Amino acid sequence: MQHKVLAILQMGDPPLDIQQKLGVQSDWMIAALPDTPITVKVLYPASGDTLPEPNLLAGAILTGSTSMVTDREAWSEYTADWIRLAIDQQLPLLGICYGHQLMSHALGGVVDYHPAGREIGQLPIQLHDEAKADPLLADLPSTFMANLTHEQSVLQPPEQATVLASSEHDAHQILRYSPYALSLQFHPEFSNEVMSYFLSRREALFSTEGYDIPAMCAALEATPVARKILHDFVDLCAAATPATVNTAANAS
């Protein structure tokens, strides 16, 4: 019997300097999931990969991107169509940053540039009361730190979505669309190294916007609560499929 796999949908490649320094989004995701008890396969819709029938997968994670949902790139709209199919087939989905916004867009929400500008840094996330009943959030503290970097946001969630968390800047940090589908504006997979580089690579620009980048980098700490959401999602996917052992070789 063929085991179902967990798909990581890489939403395009980051700029070359990021690739050379840190790798790509799927690398960070895999590094954040050591000893994951499920086979992982990375898919690249922006490079022309055909996305499989959702019922052939154990789950899917949609990564962040330096693209913008409002650009309506062909690969992104193709992925949005696939998201709707995956929701209909009750595939476990986790969207992160761009993936969060694309899931909302696919389901009828409004995504655009945030009127207050970018949100970047390691910042507090506040869970709403509704999160107390959510299977991935119920045992988390009401406030926790997470890594963020984005200019666009979900300005209006889909009608079916429940808002489960917010930040001072962004009212829609976590959205639940169905018992199987959740999305996060923040990056649970980011290490301090990744967050620090995202801050420092554009320090000149960010400084003109009032950010103290050296201080922000110096204050970075581990974000175990945010990371736990990612781990628990993957564990739920693994629990629904026969156990396999994940290695770096699986992620190709």
Which residues are known to be catalytic? 97, 187, 189
Q: Is there a contact between 149 and 114 (Cβ–Cβ < 8 Å)?
A: no
DSSP character at residue 144: E
H or E segment to which residue 177 belongs: strand 174-178
First-last CA distance in the chain:
21
Q: Is there a contact between 63 and 11 (Cβ–Cβ < 8 Å)?
A: yes
H or E segment to which residue 18 belongs: helix 16-22
Q: 242, 213, 104: which is closest to 149 by C-alpha?
A: 213
d(CA 120, CA 148): 5
Q: Which residues contact 68 (CB under 8 A, 6 or more apart)?
A: 151, 152
Q: 51, 82, 54, 79: which is closest to 65 by C-alpha?
A: 79
Cβ atoms within 10 Å, residue 214: 12
Compute the half-sphere exposure of residue 110: CA atoms within 13 Å on the CB side of its CA: 4
Is residue 143 helix, strand or coil?
Answer: strand
DSSP character at residue 140: S
H or E segment to which residue 8 belongs: strand 5-9
